[in-house]
Structure 1
Amino acid sequence: MENKKAIKLIDKILKNLDKTGINTDTLIDDIKELRTYALEEQIPLVVKVLRLTYEHIEATESFMIPMPDDEPIEEGAEVVANDELAPVESLKYVIALMKNLNNKGNIADLKEYRDLLNSY
């Protein structure tokens, strides 16, 4: 996103996630505020992902969407995930993607999050 206030809000959300984890009290309001900036900038993908994100957090009190894989996992490979960190890290990642929408990889990951949130 281009808006300096939106970038500051993204940084605030990321910092709060580091400090308190998924604290629904302030987090949902911050995500809704960030969504207004995306609406102003007319970025439909970000608007949709943010709406689906806060609705998901309201419904689950967490963020149950896994981070997109960079590479396909080989069959038989052992996957080790820290269940407590996974929701916070995944949420931090999806929010951080919005800082640089000129990156095609970020757009692809946002689309994957949108699809995963829609099908959750």
Structure 2
Amino acid sequence: MENQKAIKLIDKIIKNLDKTGINTDVLIDDIKELRTYALEAQIPLVVKVLRLAYEHIEENKSFLIPILDDEPIEEDGAIEANEGSSPVESLKYLIALIKNLNNKGNVADLKGYRDLLNSF
């Protein structure tokens, strides 16, 4: 994401996650605001992932999607997740991915999160 306000918001979300964990009220508002920047920039994958993420947090009062493994794609195309990750770490990773969408690995991981959120 190239919008400086969006980058500052990403940094704020990550900092707040470090401080307070998954504080749903503030977190959901910040993710919704970040989603508006993705809408303006016309990045459909990010728009979808952020919507799925905040809906998931609203419903579960946490982020129950584990962080993706370093080697996410198996031979059958299944996505591997790292079951040992904390909700905060996984959400921080997801939000951090949005900062650099020029990295193909980040885009692939966002697609992985999208698929995991859809199938949750």
TM-score, with structure 2 as normaliser: 0.89
Matched-pair identity in %: 81
Structure 1 residues 14-29: aligned runs within 5 Å? 14-29=14-29
Aligned letter for 1:2?
Answer: E
Q: State the one-letter code of the partner of 2:84.
A: A
| 1:1-120 correspondence to structure 2 within 5 Å | 1-71=1-71, 81=84, 86-120=86-120
1: CA distance, partners of 2:104 / 2:84:
27
Structure 1 position 80, deviation (Å) = 7.9
Distance 1:42 1:17 in 2: 26
Aligned residue identity for 2:5: K
CA spacing shift, 1:80–1:95, aligned 2, 3 Å: closer
Distance 1:46 1:25 in 2: 21
Whole-Å separation in 2 of the counterparts to 1:50 and 1:98:
10
Partner secondary structure for residue 100 of structure 2: coil
Question: For residue 14 of structure 2, what is the amino acid of its counterpart?
Answer: L
Distance 1:61 1:42, change over 3 A: same
Q: Deviation digits for residues 10-69 of structure 1, max 9, x if unmatched?
A: 000000000000000100000000000000000000000000000000000000001111
Higher relative contact order (CA 8 A, sep 6+): 1
What are the ranges of 5 or more consecutive residues in structure 1 without an aligned counterpart? Answer: 73-78
Q: d(CA) in 1 for partners of 2:57 and 2:11?
A: 19
Please provide the CA RMSD for this pair. Answer: 1.4
